[in-house]
Structure 1
Amino acid sequence: MSMLSDFTARLRREHVTLALDDIQALILRSRPEPYVGIHAMLHIDDAAGGRDLLGRIAAHIPSAAGWTDEREAWMGIALSFEGLKALEVPEASLASFPLPFQQGMARRAEQLRDVGENAPEHWDEAFRPGTCHVALTIYARDDAALEVALARAMTELERSHGVTLVGRHAFGADADAKNPFGFRDSISQPAIAGSGVAPLPGQERSIAAGEFILGENSETGAPVAMPDPLELGRNGSFVVLRKYESRAGAFNDFVRAHADGEAGEELLAAKMVGRWRSGAPLPLAPDHDDAALGADPARNNGFDFSRDPRGLACPHAAHMRRLNPRDSHLTILTDVNIHRIIRRSSTFGPKWRRDLTASDDAAQERGIFFIFISARAYDTIEFFQQEWINRGNFIDLAEERDPIVGLHETAGSFTMPQSPVRRRVDGITTFNRLRGGEYLFMPSLTALRWIAGAAWR
């Protein structure tokens, strides 16, 4: 069963309480598998021209009301704070946005631990401070569908004035949806209360809609603060976009150096990620990969860590367990449900191969756009970066960092509980280098029309 068919089968429209016809489809609709697409970054030089383009593009953005339709392609749009300023959104509205969003990702480098080789001075030009005003994303099922959707978007851009295309990046993956390290990606997605789609068997309970959609009640029982006026804030969300250059060859070299044979390499890599390359989770397949399990959306998330308190199956330090501890015991108490995110990551570059080495990394650009959506996006990513990714105190591992996305300014280590003595593997380097990003606001369809129409003028 395809991912879309699975959602359609689980959708109960009588349980829908969200204003699906006002929410951008990209927030609730998962990407297709296989998928191709384009990320385009725009800079607004003229407010009137930018608003005109926004109004015309808005007509091509589908709502979540049709998120189970058999679409060949769809588009989503998000704006940076500098973009909203360039569009001349009123000062009172601008001031109502969260401070991290106002400052932008580059100015939050200290809070994000984006230093050293991940510092903003090393980022792509499109993500230099104040450059990316509008992020436009198109997902499509195949190249033909992408060509049609892209031509439509470029026609609107060419008709506009005062808007410059400052960056364009193609992405895509085959039906296996593997990331640059060869692992099935974006498996774990939260069920959202009020969306009408029930959790999968064994999946965690639905998360309050206000954790993702502004204006709805959150896990605290009240809405998260949102921008003013209601026409601007309600039914929107916030987006974190981070472009990583993946050093797949260096990762291969590391596992080869610390494991015996192909089976040993696969096990070590799985321990570092928390899943096998098929997507099968270690708590359900601790000893060997299970491709059928990895490909089954009804089973590949049906687990928690209650039966693995010591981390013998899935280490506490594994990437997956760090970023979604589920019911793990945490030394630093945290409400995990307010840090849940909707993942919309996209992979680019050649597929992973077992024979890649570090010498191949400079010759072939591959990587991932780590993109997620949350009403608390900026608090969440800064918490992730400070606590769950670049420290280990919350799992009693001191300064040990995430083995996959952590910044390792000096060689790091990875701890695997074993009986009778745990194993620590040294020599981890930065396998994913940050090459840019931005904090974005994904408005509702009403808000896009409100901004485009300059209703405040």
Structure 2
Amino acid sequence: MSERTHVKLELDDIQRGALSPRPTPYAATYILFRIDDREHGRELMRRASAVATSAADTVSPLGETWVSIALTYHGLKALGVAQEWLDTFAWEFRQGMAARANALGDIGESSPENWESPLGTSDVHVVLVALAPDSARLEAAIDHARPAYDALTGVTAIWRQNCHALPTETEPFGYRDGISHPAVEGSGIAGSNPLETPLKAGEFVLGYRDELGGIQTPQPDVLGRNGTYVVFRKLHQRVALFRRYLKDNSTSPDDEELLAAKIMGRWRSGAPLALSPSQDQPGLGADPSRNNAFLFQQDDPGGFTTPGGSHIRRGNPRDSSVAGEPRLHRMIRRGTAYGPPLPEGVLEDDGVDRGLMFAFVGAHLGRQFEFVQSEWMNDGVFFGSGDAKDPLTGSHDGSGDFTIPRRPVRRRLLSLPRFVVTRGGEYCFMPGLTALRWLGDLTD
């Protein structure tokens, strides 16, 4: 029997927000806190350990509802974690997202000086995320969590972003979202692609063996084990601009939808081009047992069905022959919409802020999130396409292009504008529940 079958995660100590797929529909909120008084910050950790939901608690009293707590590097410092222990965390985490802006393509409009305050600053210490099937139960979850920070005058709420998932499961550009989820060994949570072998637990949870055979655990072990790194990013989406670009570069409504599918790698219904190359199949897109059950290399090595530069193929090349072993860069991705949808058919910007709160979960910030963002999303060398960027989320300046393989003549989209602008973000550490209690019991 292989080692893979023996691994069992300590789910009762892992926060549920690290591994559990989200229900549909749902509402969520992100609340950021600054710790001004160390003792009050530690009390917040003690209270939070009783509020945060474990991955073993799959049925909470409020239904599909949970609360998760994460901390930035500055948050751990504010609590008084010793520097010798802080130095054992990933160096990208210690630097913070704002310092990594150039590597991430957060330049120009997306650069940190243009981010929403206080995102990317040393004032952000704690991130509380609450999630529930609807707004009423979300507020109930927040009310349940409120005693964790109410009356702590040394802890200040400094930012909040409310989010939602539509019953259609689409994001602001109109594509079905939240389809792909990796299988994590020992979690008991099935992946969305039956053709993908479960990934080693250490790719997502600290303290377990990863795909390379190593074990990453910040020290002391009681702090690092069963934790994970979480990336939060607020991404503004220029929906009207995207719609206008599609219309201006297509010959008919059908061609417009095909172009949108080639850019994403899926039809807007969620049906993958790999399984439905010539027309949309909404039934396929809505079927979680089929809409992610495909690979690329065997049937489509040249990208004639799903372009190599399309969004989903860049984010997860699956079995494709590319520079960089895809399994080493696999991560859990979650996007939650914010702001009202732009009405159907509107091609002019209405000035309303809308987009995604993006979350990445993984044990390796460098070779997972940062690698994918810099090498796969904002470059094309890995699949032989020079410096071409992701057509949808790449850091474009109006001079980029996107090539769609086609016989007898390939199709090229020119002058790609920036459709997605970073409004801010944070690198966080989501401790295990034991670690939250340990942080609460720290003494000077």
TM-score where L is the length of structure 2 = 0.95
Which residue number in structure 1 is paired with residue 382 of structure 2? 394
What is the aligned-residue identity percentage? 44
Classify 1:279/1:103 alpha carbon distance in 2 versus 1 (closer, same or farther; 3 Å).
Answer: same
Q: Which structure 2 residue ranges, 5 or more long, are not aligned?
A: none
Higher share in helix: 1
**Where do residues 39-438 of structure 1 align in structure 2 (5 Å cutoff)?**
39-67=30-58, 71-199=63-191, 202-223=194-215, 225-305=216-296, 306-330=298-322, 332=323, 334-360=324-350, 363-438=351-426
Summarize the Cα distance change of 1:168–1:373 in structure 2 as closer, same or farther, 3 Å threshold.
same
Q: Aligned letter for 1:316?
A: G
Question: Does the 8 Å CA contact 2:34/2:157 hold for their aligned counterparts?
Answer: yes
Shift of 1:201: 6.4
Letter in structure 2 aligned against 1:207: L
Provide the rounded CA distance (Å) in 2 between the counterparts of 1:23 and 1:174: 28
Cα 1:155–1:198 shift into 2, 3 Å: closer
Give 1:28's aligned residue.
19
CA separation of 1:157 and 1:201: change in aligned 2, threshold 3 A: closer
* Deviation, structure 1 residue 291: 1.2
Identify unmatched segments of 5+ residues in structure 1. 1-13
Any conservation in 1 of the 2:52–2:66 contact (CA below 8 Å)? yes
How many residues in Structure 1 have an aligned counterpart in Structure 2? 438
Query: For the Cα contact (< 8 Å) 1:213–1:235, is it kept in 2?
Result: yes
Conserved? CA contact 1:24–1:61, under 8 Å: yes
Secondary structure, counterpart of 1:284 in structure 2: coil
Determine the C-alpha separation between the residues in 2 that align with 1:272 and 1:256. Answer: 14
8 Å CA contact 2:31–2:157 kept in 1: the answer is yes
Q: Contact 1:182/1:353 (CA < 8 Å) preserved in 2?
A: no
Q: Secondary structure at the match of 1:359?
A: coil
2:48·2:145 contact (CA, 8 Å) conserved in 1?
yes
Question: Tell me, what secondary structure is at the counterpart of 1:158?
Answer: coil
| Whole-angstrom CA distance in 2 between matches of 1:60 and 1:435 | 29
**Rounded Cα–Cα distance in structure 2 between residues aligned with 1:288 and 1:46:** 59
Q: TM-score, normalised by structure 1?
A: 0.92
Deviation for aligned residue 1:16: 6.9
More divergent stretch after superposition (315-324 vs 123-132): 123-132
| Partner SS state of residue 101, structure 1 | helix
Change (3 A) 1:352 1:320: farther
